[in-house]
Structure 1
Amino acid sequence: MDAASKHENHLPDLAITSLGAPSADSPLTEARFVNDEERVLVHSRLSDIEPLIKNSSAPSFEIAGPRRKIFFDPKDLTCGIVTCGGLCPGLNDVIRSVTLSLLWQYKVKRVIGFRYGYNGISSNAYEDPIELTPDTVSAIQHIGGTILGSSRGPQSPADMVDQLIANNVRILYIIGGDGTFAGGHDIANEITKRQLPISVIGIPKTIDNDIYCSEKTFGFGTAVEHARSAIHSAHTEARGAWNGVGLVKLMGRDSGFIAASATLANSDVNFCLVPEVPFELDGRDGFLARLVDRINRKRHAVVVAAEGAGRYLEKTGRKDASGNEIYPDIGFFLKERIRRHFSEQNIPVTVKYIDPSYMIRSVPANAADSQFCIQLGQNAVHAGMAGKTDMFVAYWNNHFTHVPLAAAVGRRKKLDPASELWQGVIATTD
């Protein structure tokens, strides 16, 4: 099965919710319109598809793109944008894309940006929303971070819907990951309960590339590119010392895509540790013994560890503002354990530890991510204008697709140890 489904026994419901039948003509004059009957198959291998087709049950995603008929009247429409969670390359690109698509393509009345995540939509907001205009977003794609600010932590869905009503927002674009989508789904449920014509459209953001039902997310490619630079520095440091170890910790709470991809991109890594592949620390075949063997043979080594790797080795018992378990710092943990183990073996060692996490998160998007962000933003605008709601724009089998927010909430895409990616890592390390 494909990446989004192989870790589950069944796929979630992929039906997309609409506020109602769109009846107005789209103002787009040169668009290649699509309709709701155009679908993208979840599976791409013939062996997976054939038995499903025979039973008329082949799962598929609704394809994204402009619709010939739209639900909202642009001339009276106010739309809102919010960015939540950690920083990620490309946030400003998406903000700019959504804003300009709304104002230039659909000529909506007004676009506002809520400040500092979901807090900005609450009655206790740190700051008032800001007006987003072509001038406001004219060059923001060239800077990292988000001009709207961000935050973590839940807010009351009822309170947020009250604020959307107070600001006359009819389409809310939420840019974030799993926690953001969970909050957006709660907002959409509250809107449904009140029978309000307000749309909630998600745009997936995480450098970890772990959003369920999407092959990739923006910021991931840029993260891998900059992680590669950190690994290069670690390799240089390791080779410059007798028995040198270059240790790099990369982001990846539960999914090791950055660590694995950066390892392949660099080809100088000897050990790649990811959350999906447990490893023994001690013992004859443990990581430390293998590291000693590598040092004795080559006199240097490079170790890359995703932040969630080895999380079972220590427990903090703490949670962050979003309710996620705070994992121990695998980088510091490994650094101290490596030093201690080599000392016990009476082997001199020099460990250089590099953690580029926040540097990677805050850089501007590279060319490929910038292009991807523009397309994500445009397709999100098309979905909202057509009256779609409680969904996000994803990317699957070379197509932009519509996926229900509920399909991604509480699920994470994981690195498959049997995948070509991980098999490539195994072939190029140690």
Structure 2
Amino acid sequence: METSFNIPNLGKPEIKSPLNLSTVKGDKIFNFVEDEESLVYDLSLKEYERCLNTGSDPLCLEVAGPRESIFFNPEETSAAIVTCGGLCPGINNVIRGTVMALYYFYKVRKIYGIPFGFEGLNPEKGHEFRVLNPDEVKEIHQFGGTVLGSSRGAQSVEVMVDTLVEKKIDILFAIGGDGTLKGANAIATEINKRGLKIAVVGIPKTIDNDIDLIDKSFGFETAFDIASPILRDAHNEATGANKGVAIVKLMGRDSGFIAASAALAMPVVNFVLVPEMNFELYGEGGFLEVLDQRLKNKGHAVIVVAEGAGQHLFEQKEKVKDASGNIQHQDIGILLKDVINKEFKGELGGVKYIDPSYIIRSAPANSSDSIYCSRLAYHAVHGAMAGKTMFVAGERNGRFVYLPIDAVTQKRKKINLEGEFWFSVLQSTGQPFQMP
């Protein structure tokens, strides 16, 4: 665990904020946030008692929000936005929110979109920056994907910083997941090495909800919201035949939050298989034996599997990685379909396999995610204009805070198989705790 969540600053903020907020303290609400305002990271009684007994201060997080004094002069400031990695509902909402906050809150007029991820910071790729303003982004929230385009894979950090300097960019907003945030941190490190005054801000994007330390990442709620009616239809397929089986594969490379949440939201699922669990197909108490018992008792079964589940069931082969450095998993959905068909040898009414992954990740954000995306963007802009760098804006314990990029990228968030959330899944599905 980090011993400090301090956020680096480019320098002392000495410019009066253009935001017209109350600065009266006393009995009135003080709308600006002071850097000294913080929130306790661990709210447990155990941590509270530890601090009392040891006399130590609790680990705290910096509260997000507008500062009374800012670092960048809005009239001279140039900001750029880049989106990297896989698609996710809400990216366009974040782009829109960032542009609107820069333009209307701080009167920043030089705002650019970097095309096709970090590729856009490599001149050899031939991509031109795109001018962004409220008219350009006013309707993009209605569409999925990213209007700026995205890409995977690393570019030369030195080249990317050279481009930021050449384009006279003062603030870089990087919207992306674990790999993107690590790339943004590397850019910020090179900027610091050169003694430049360029802020680098991350807005965490991962549909799998596996960013550590924050409550949730944007796009996650939309993902299991869209998946829910698909599970309903899969249930209809399974119950429409004697001993019918429906398999739905959902996203979740290392964490099974989408699969588990979708199953809870649409409680017609009988088995949820996630990367965090080890299960066996054969033997006493194995998945196939439990499935057989389910079919004999109920006459149908709906199985939801996360894409990263059951990789230990494949023959060990050389691991292949994508351009982002992620291990390319083999298709557990196809494996389950083939094994079930082979094991039951025509006894089933049919095995239907559904993979809606690309439909889900390319969809526009739902209402809840849309609100969340806008608020994330606003808080990222407030921190950036105050001269903060190497941080992400996120929600922790229901409050928006700033966290260092390197803190949230140390590990991936995973389902606790002994926690209340997973126990809720087991109660909903009726599946055994272990297989075996």
Q: TM-score, normalised by structure 2?
A: 0.94
Choose 391-400 or 53-62, whichever is displaced more: 53-62
The structure 2 residue matched to 1:27, chosen from 18, 32, 38, is 18
**Native 8 Å contact 2:322 2:328 kept in 1:** yes
CA offset at residue 43 of structure 1?
1.1
- The residue type paired with residue 175 of structure 1 is I
2:338 maps to 336
Structure 1 residues 124 and 54, CA, compared in 2 at 3 Å: closer, same or farther? farther
Q: Distance in 1 between matches of 2:210 and 2:308?
A: 13
Equivalent residue for 1:58? 58
1:143-172 deviation per Cα after TM superposition (whole angstroms, max 9, x unaligned): 111100001100111100000011110000
Aligned AA for 2:19?
L
Q: Secondary structure at the match of 1:304?
A: strand
Contact map agreement 1:13 1:407 (CA 8 A) in 2 = no
Say if 2:61 and 2:403, in contact at 8 Å, map to a contact too.
yes
C-alpha deviation, 1:122, in angstroms: 1.3
Aligned to 2:434: none
SS of residue matched to 1:280: coil
Root-mean-square deviation (CA, aligned residues, Å) is: 1.2
* CA distance in 2 between partners of 1:247 and 1:381 (Å): 42
1:41 and 1:335 map into 2 onto residues whose CA distance is 47
Question: 8 Å contact 2:280–2:286 — kept in the other structure?
Answer: yes
Q: Judging changes above 3 Å, is the alpha-carbon distance between structure 1 residues 54 and 108 closer, same or farther for their aligned structure 2 residues?
A: farther
Identify the match of residue 329 of structure 2 among 311, 327, 335: 327
Q: Deviations over 1:329-379 (max 9, x none)?
A: 111111111111111xx6234110111100000111000000000000000
8 Å contact from structure 1 (residues 228, 263) kept in 2: yes
Matches within 5 A, 1:25-104: 25-30=16-21, 32-55=31-54, 56-104=56-104
* Distance apart, 1:50 and its partner CA: 1.8
How far did 1:206 drift? 0.9
Q: 1:12 to 1:140 in 2, by over 3 A?
A: farther
Contact 2:34–2:67 (CA under 8 A) maintained in structure 1:
yes
User: Aligned equivalents of 2:243 and 2:48: distance in 1?
Assistant: 52
Query: Which residue in 1 is equivalent to 2:179?
Result: 179
Could you tell me which residue of structure 1 aligns to residue 285 of structure 2? 285
Alignment-derived partner of residue 243 in structure 1: 243
1:53, CA displacement in angstroms?
4.3
CA distance in 2, matches of 1:57, 1:347: 64
Equivalent position SS for 1:149? coil
The answer to whether the 8 A contact 1:40-1:396 is kept is: no
Please say which of residues 191-200 and 279-288 is displaced more in the overlay.
Answer: 279-288
One-letter identity of the residue aligned with 2:108: V
> How far apart, CA to CA, are the structure 2 residues paired with 1:293 and 1:57?
54
> Match of 1:135, SS?
helix
TM-score by length of 1: 0.95
Amino acid of the residue matched to residue 124 of structure 1? E
Residues 113-166 of structure 1: CA deviation (Å, up to 9, x unaligned):
000000011122342010001110010011111100001100111100000011
Alignment of 1:291-302 (within 5 A): 291-302=291-302
The Cα offsets for residues 251-309 of structure 1, whole Å up to 9 and x where unpaired, read as: 01111111111111111100000111211111121001111111111110000001111
Corresponding letter in the other structure for 1:331: G
Contact 2:294 2:301 in 1 (8 A): yes
User: Conserved in 1, the CA contact under 8 Å of 2:245 and 2:348?
Assistant: no
Unaligned runs of 5+ in 2: 23-30, 431-436
**Quick check: 156-165 or 116-125, which moved more?**
116-125
Q: Equivalent residue for 1:407? A: 407
Identity of matched residues, %: 48
3-state SS in 2 of match to 1:153 = coil
Q: CA deviation at 1:48?
A: 2.7
> Following superposition of structure 1 onto structure 2, how do residues 7-406 of structure 1 map, counting pairs within 5 Å?
10-11=1-2, 13-30=4-21, 32-55=31-54, 56-314=56-314, 315=316, 317-343=319-345, 347-406=347-406
Structure 1 CA distance for aligned equivalents of residues 126 and 45 of structure 2: 53
- Check whether the contact 2:203–2:377 (CA below 8 A) recurs between aligned residues: yes
For 1:366 and 1:109, the matched residues in 2 are separated by 29
Matched residues in 2 for 1:52 and 1:363: separation? 45
The more displaced of 31-40 and 389-398 is 31-40
Q: Secondary structure at the match of 2:103?
A: helix
CA distance in 1, matches of 2:282, 2:218: 37
Contact (CA 8 Å) 1:116, 1:126: kept in 2 or not? Answer: no
SS of the residue 2:261 aligns to: helix
Please identify runs of 4+ aligned residues in structure 1 that moved more than 6 A.
Answer: none
State the alpha-carbon separation in 2 of the partners of residues 304 and 291 from structure 1: 13
Q: Which runs of 5+ in 1 are unaligned?
A: 1-9
The AA in structure 1 aligned to 2:17 is: S
